[in-house]
Homo-oligomer: A and B are copies of this chain.
Amino acid sequence: MAWGVFKELLISFLDYKTEKFIVVKNKKIGILYRLIQLAIIGYVIGWVFIIKKGYQETDEAIQTSVLTKLKGVSVTNTSESGPQGEDVLFVVTNFLETPNQKLGYCAESTRVLHGHCRDDEDCEEGQMVVAGNGMMTGRCLRKDEDSTGSCEIYGWCPAERDYNPEGPMLTNAENFTIYIKNYIQFSKFQFAKSNVLETNDDFYLRKCRYDEELHPYCPIFRLGDITRRAGYNFHDMDTVGGSISIMIEWDCDLDKVNFNCNPQYRFTRLDTSDSNMTITKGFNFRHTRYFKNAAGETYRSLFKVYGIRFNIMVHGKAGKFSIIPATINVAAGLALMGGAAVLCDVILLYITKERATHRERKFETPRVDNVEMSERCMRT
């Protein structure tokens, strides 16, 4: 028995079997089906393949390294501009200096709200002044009995001069340049590239300035141009500082000749928002320089430094032909056509006038059918 089945299988295995169709002379459903087929083919070829590049595998895990070099001259460059060469640069544009501070006792700055006092009880001993410069000693320093005073603190004295910065002190920064070397890699496709023009013309790379149209592969950016592209004037930012992101975007089609893989730069100011929150406006931080006098006592200069922080971010994806997504999308189209046939069948078998006849023809019932056929034969 099993052998019979097996033999039969073996014999019939290489016969080609194909579904038997019934032809229904219903032009409406025929046209509907063809239209659906056309739509599916159009969707797969037009949208999935041509527009969305569904035949590509994508690598969004870009590997990137950034090297930067800031060039510019400023006479009173008071502060180091942070770790050099990284994806964050800081350019000083303004600063407030509080020189010759020593550890000791003095009045809290009158600008510090929580340092104001009417009597000693307002200055709880041992507590830090909120947003202030030191620890309260418990004394309230006043000019006379009636006025408001400031708590005495222990800390670096005199307390920081905390006025609003006036015009920028380092006006030249607008003309500074940043050299940005960005090396990217898509490890899935073993593809690597740099944003720097591959040339032996050293001179070009020293003299060029980035321009979207003319010099898209020049890696040197003038600071003033960067702020302008971000939508701000450099002088809007140099008094209280700011934060700008330099986004380098790579969208690479590795199926194209030359890979069609160019860096796009986008510049955005980060420290503002529509809601105008002052807490996030500008950019500053404090730093200190420590000295010792002849007696070995330490004193320091406190700098509140304003400046523009440039944050370089790299983002990218690459796409390349891969058989798997291509196959899946083609297969999805084929499967959808099967679905379209089911839909048309439902209309044919349950909605058209001749649905009973259609059902009878489509579904061949066992005995009954034979009997029917026999009957037909007899009738003939």
Q: What is the minimal beta-carbon distance from A349 to any residue of chain B, in angstroms?
A: 9
Using Cβ atoms and an 8 Å threshold, which residues of chain B touch A292? 291
| Candidates B76, B366, B376; contact of A361 at CB < 8 Å | B366
Q: Is A164 an interface residue (CB 8 A)?
A: no
A313 & B63 in contact (Cβ 8 Å cutoff): yes
Q: Tell me the complex Cα distance, A187–B33, Å.
A: 38
Q: Would A329 and B324 be within 8 Å (CB), given that A21-B19, A344-B16 are in contact?
A: yes
Using Cβ atoms and an 8 Å threshold, which residues of chain B touch A29? 16
Chain A, 66-95, contact with B by CB distance < 8 Å: what is the 0/1 string?
010001111110001011111010100000
Q: What is the minimal beta-carbon distance from A88 to any residue of chain B, in angstroms?
A: 6
A60 & B63 in contact (Cβ 8 Å cutoff): no
Chain A, 282-295, contact with B by CB distance < 8 Å: what is the 0/1 string?
01011111111110
A73 & B16 in contact (Cβ 8 Å cutoff): no
How big is chain A's contact interface, by range? Answer: 35 or more
Using Cβ atoms and an 8 Å threshold, which residues of chain B touch A200? 275-277
Pick out which of these stretches binds chain B: A130-138, A229-237, A254-262: A130-138
Number of copies: 3
Pick out which of these stretches binds chain B: A117-125, A142-150, A191-199, A209-217: A191-199
B80 & A83 in contact (Cβ 8 Å cutoff): no
Q: Would A65 and B16 be within 8 Å (CB), given that A329-B324, A335-B334 are in contact?
A: no
A376 & B374 in contact (Cβ 8 Å cutoff): yes
Using Cβ atoms and an 8 Å threshold, which residues of chain B touch A86? 88
Q: Tell me the complex Cα distance, A290–B13, Å.
A: 90
Q: Tell me the complex Cα distance, A278–B280, Å.
A: 40
Q: Is A30 an interface residue (CB 8 A)?
A: yes
A376 & B370 in contact (Cβ 8 Å cutoff): yes
| Candidates B21, B286, B376; contact of A377 at CB < 8 Å | B376
Q: Tell me the complex Cα distance, A172–B154, Å.
A: 14
A338 & B335 in contact (Cβ 8 Å cutoff): yes
Q: Would A75 and B134 be within 8 Å (CB), given that A21-B362, A206-B279, A331-B332 are in contact?
A: yes
Beyond A18-B344, A61-B315, A65-B270, 7 extra complex contacts between A and B, CB < 8 Å = A15-B26, A18-B345, A61-B61, A86-B88, A199-B277, A202-B279, A330-B336
